[in-house]
Structures are given as structure tokens and as C-alpha cells.
């Protein structure tokens, strides 16, 4: 394969990658939740929580979580399990969560894997206060949903059409640099032929 053909195929691949990343869209999500639980005691147990919440993008929801809770002798708490948020306006968001903390709020990571439109994924981080004596939990989260677009959101629920993502700032510089390199290679080739 000639060097110029290799260069052109590499440049075409890079432009395709930049174009693909420019087509991905993202919307923010954030909200709060609170609920009560039951079903566990001891140092390792399963606790089921039910409560209410509100998301700034999708509105009010009913929350349910089933977590395996581990509390060690030093007051460290870890929790993990499935969650689902069923929205009043229709649709749901579900997935898994993990959390950990010591003597205060738990740091929580939500991985959203269900209820979203095809190709969409989501993630959120947050904090929650867990009271093992009264079996209550309350917290907040902030994250995003990303996908191929043009709409993002919930199956059988609200969807959002975000503004188009502008081209990455580096794309015009890359195209200009690729053109300059191609011009220089062509000039060098012509010069070698005339000698």
C-alpha cells in the first residue's frame, strides 16, 4: 500500500471517529429521594426500601431498592443491589447501585441499565443518609444519560431532544493539519520526480 493511500485511510478513519463522537448526545439528570425500609438486622442483611423522589428531568417517582447491607464493627457501611424509579409521568429507570461510608453519608453510584431508549446508558453519583435504627434513607444524586439520539429518555415515558452537540474544537485543526501534511507529501513527491 502506498504511503499516500495509508495516510488518506488514516485521516478518513480519524474524521469518522470525530463525527461519531459529535453525534452522541447527553442530558443531565439529578434529584432527591427518601424512604423507609425493613427486613434486616445484624451485621449483614438484606434491606428493602420504598419511598418517593423527584428528578429535575423526568419528574416525581416512586423508588424501590433492595440492598445487601454490611455494617462492620468500626461503623463502616456498604450497600449494593438493584433499584428502580417508576415515574408518575410514565416509564421507569432501573439498574444497580453501590454505596459505602463511615459514620455519616454514604457515597452512592447508580448504574442505569434498564428502562431507557435503545442505545441509551446512564450513570449518577450521590450521597445518602442511612439510619439503621429507624430504617430510613434519604439522599440526592446527579448524573447523565447518553446515547445516539436524537432523543434520550424513558421507554413508555418522557423523552428529551437535546440541542445538537457542536463539532469538537479540535476537528477543524485536525482537518487543516491533515490537509497540510497531504500537500507537503505531494509536493515532496513531485520534487523527487523532477530531479
Return the CATH fold of 26-160. Porin (2.40.160)
Task: Tell me how far apart the alpha carbons of residues 14 and 9 are, in angstroms, rounded to a whole number.
Answer: 9
pLDDT tens digits along 8-39 = 555 555 555 444 445 679 999 999 999 998 77
pLDDT at 168: 61
Task: Tell me how far apart the alpha carbons of residues 165 and 119 are, in angstroms, rounded to a whole number.
Answer: 17
Mean pLDDT for each consecutive 10-residue tract of the chain (195 residues)?
A: 52 51 80 87 82 96 90 82 96 94 87 94 93 84 94 91 64 69 76 70
Q: Answer yes or no: pTM beyond 0.85.
A: no
Closest CA to 18 of 184, 193, 182, 165: 165
Asked, as a colleague might, if the bond just before 121 is cis with ω within 30 of 0, I would say: no
Strand partners, 86: 62, 92
Amino acid at each position: 500500500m502506498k504511503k499516500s493511500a495509508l495516510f488518506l485511510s488514516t485521516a478518513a478513519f480519524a474524521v469518522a471517529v470525530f463525527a461519531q463522537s459529535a453525534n452522541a448526545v447527553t442530558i443531565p439528570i439529578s434529584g432527591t429521594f427518601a424512604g423507609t425500609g425493613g427486613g434486616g438486622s445484624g451485621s449483614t442483611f438484606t434491606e428493602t426500601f420504598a419511598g418517593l423522589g423527584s428528578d429535575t428531568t423526568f419528574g416525581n417517582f416512586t423508588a424501590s431498592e433492595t440492598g445487601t447491607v454490611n455494617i462492620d464493627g468500626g461503623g463502616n457501611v456498604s450497600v449494593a443491589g438493584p433499584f428502580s424509579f417508576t415515574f408518575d409521568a410514565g416509564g421507569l429507570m432501573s439498574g444497580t447501585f453501590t454505596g459505602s461510608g463511615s459514620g455519616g453519608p454514604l457515597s452512592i453510584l447508580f448504574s442505569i441499565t434498564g428502562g431507557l431508549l435503545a442505545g441509551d446508558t446512564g450513570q449518577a453519583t450521590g450521597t445518602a443518609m442511612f439510619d439503621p435504627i429507624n430504617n430510613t434513607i434519604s439522599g440526592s444524586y446527579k448524573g447523565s444519560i447518553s446515547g445516539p439520539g436524537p432523543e434520550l429518555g424513558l421507554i413508555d415515558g418522557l423523552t428529551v431532544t437535546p440541542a445538537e452537540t457542536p463539532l469538537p474544537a479540535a476537528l477543524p485543526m485536525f482537518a487543516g493539519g491533515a490537509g497540510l501534511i497531504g500537500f507537503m507529501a505531494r509536493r515532496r513527491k513531485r520534487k523527487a520526480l523532477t530531479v
